Structure 1
Amino acid sequence: MDNFTAERKLVADACRVLAARDLAPGFLGHVSLRVDGERLLVRCRGPHERGLAWTTAEDIRLIGLDGSPGARGELDGWTAPHELPLHTAVLRRRPDVAAVVHAHPENVVAADLAGLAIRPIFGSFDIPGAHLAAGGVPVYPRGVLIRTAPLAREMTAALGDRPVVLLRGHGLTSVAADVPRAVLQALSVDRLARLALAVVSAGGVLRDLPPEDLAELPDLGPGLTDIAWRHELEAGGH
């Protein structure tokens, strides 16, 4: 039987990257990865919980979409996150998604509460982030713990077909076909929020990148994504 050794390490590394970049600086937040039609790997609460910065592959457990253990012993001594429905609702609704990141970045929460939408305010500074912002980042307006199926359906409805949704007074959810991309998207949104707060704090006015400049920003392709992910791992992800 496949124990998903590499996949567990990948999810654990993602948790550590989120912590290293202050998107999940404490013990709240979780990352999941779909492994087949009925099961996912997700960071769970373990017997020696220390927070995301110290996540190990052992903390990543195999769980069914219904919340049951994905294999014998998977939840012995571990507890699934309260917001497991957040993950499973996305995976059920979005067949294009394999990875779900839920984090609590303070910049994102503060910018949203200040009325600052995530907008394409920069260009080549972060090309994937500029394109993500230009496509729109929706907001789920309830600051609730997404621990029930009805609340999770509300959040996924707000997400729609977009890669990221902000959760007002809470954080964000980022979804993608793979774990690195889901994490990197969350980092881009945090960067956009942080710079928006800095511009406004300095007395400036937020302006979107002109359409003609946005059109000049190329798709950097998977090679740059791979480099960005390796950078994050070396910067503190493991």
Structure 2
Amino acid sequence: MHIKERRLIAGACRVLAARGLTPGFLGHVSLRVDDERLLVRCRGPRERGLAFTTEQDVRLVTLDGDPGTGGELDGWSVPHELPLHTEVLRTRPDVTAVVHAHPEDVVAADLAGLAIRPIVGALDIPGAHLAAGGVPVYPRSVLIRTRALAAQMTAAMGDRPVVLLRGHGLTSAAADVPGAVLQALSVDRLARIMLAVSSAGGVPRDLPPEDLAELPDLGAGLTSEIAWRHELARLSHRRHHGARRR
């Protein structure tokens, strides 16, 4: 059941790990399948971290964390932060996929007082537009393991696609799994550039409004479909030949 979707989520987990957004073994990706259930990356009996996720690690569960069908959680446990996913899905009908990751550059930039801003243009057009709309911050550095805490996070997130979690990571929400992952990658890229500019003694500055207005929508075929194929191809190349993180 949902074999294609499980494979998609597993690939997304490996992409996040390859890009350095989930150092270690923490983080998870989910996908809504109907009004009451979602597929989510769970922890199995041979847990090794997101870099080694397979479709068997992706399990069907209810919004309350119960098995979505018979035997679905036999040998697997749902993430402690499952409410982070389910509260977004409950409150955001526009969202189908949720990514929770721990990109260290994003955490460092926030702790340094650097808000994610549109400081680059054609280098990352979707990222520039995302940042221009604002990337809010949930100010509590806690494990979001209850609906009450998740409600605080979603309140901070509002209708934005990404929220930073202070001293913790980020949550990215989108209409599909590739979109949620690519958003997280854009925020991580902006954070790294902002840290580099600041470390060089510069001051990150927003694009001029006229430059931001000039950045075109290149269409989902380029900014999503090709970008996602690139991430999967890069992952395959890295697995077979070895590669640097970025």
Deviations 1:29-64 (A, max 9, x none): 000000001000000000000100000000000000
Q: CA RMSD in A?
A: 0.7
Aligned counterpart, 1:234: 233
Letter in 1 for 2:192: R
Aligned counterpart, 2:243: none
Report percent identity of matched pairs: 79
Tell me by how many angstroms 1:205 deviates: 1.0
The aligned runs of 1:152-167 (5 Å cut-off) are: 152-167=150-165
SS in 2 for 1:112: helix
Q: Distance in 2 between matches of 1:72 and 1:78?
A: 13
Q: Distance in 1 between matches of 2:122 and 2:49?
A: 34
SS in 1 for 2:156: helix
Letter in 2 for 1:234: A
Q: Distance in 2 between matches of 1:230 and 1:90?
A: 27
Aligned counterpart, 1:202: 200
Q: Distance in 1 between matches of 2:201 and 2:234?
A: 32
Aligned counterpart, 2:125: 127
Q: Distance in 1 between matches of 2:203 and 2:38?
A: 43
Aligned counterpart, 2:20: 22
Tell me by how many angstroms 1:66 deviates: 1.1
Aligned counterpart, 1:65: 63
SS in 2 for 1:125: coil
Tell me by how many angstroms 1:220 deviates: 1.5
Tell me by how many angstroms 1:25 deviates: 2.0
1:182 to 180, 183, 187: 180
Give the ranges of 4+ consecutive aligned residues of structure 1 lying more than 3 Å apart after TM superposition.
none
The aligned runs of 1:1-238 (5 Å cut-off) are: 3-224=1-222, 225-236=224-235
Tell me by how many angstroms 1:91 deviates: 0.1
> What TM-score comes out, normalization by structure 1 length?
0.98
Aligned counterpart, 2:244: none
Unaligned 5+ runs, structure 2: 240-246
Letter in 1 for 2:233: E
> What TM-score comes out, normalization by structure 2 length?
0.95
Q: Distance in 2 between matches of 1:95 and 1:144?
A: 26
Q: Distance in 1 between matches of 2:7 and 2:184?
A: 19
SS in 2 for 1:209: coil
Q: Distance in 1 between matches of 2:54 and 2:24?
A: 15
Q: Distance in 2 between matches of 1:162 and 1:220?
A: 21
Letter in 2 for 1:24: T
Tell me by how many angstroms 1:222 deviates: 1.1
SS in 2 for 1:145: coil
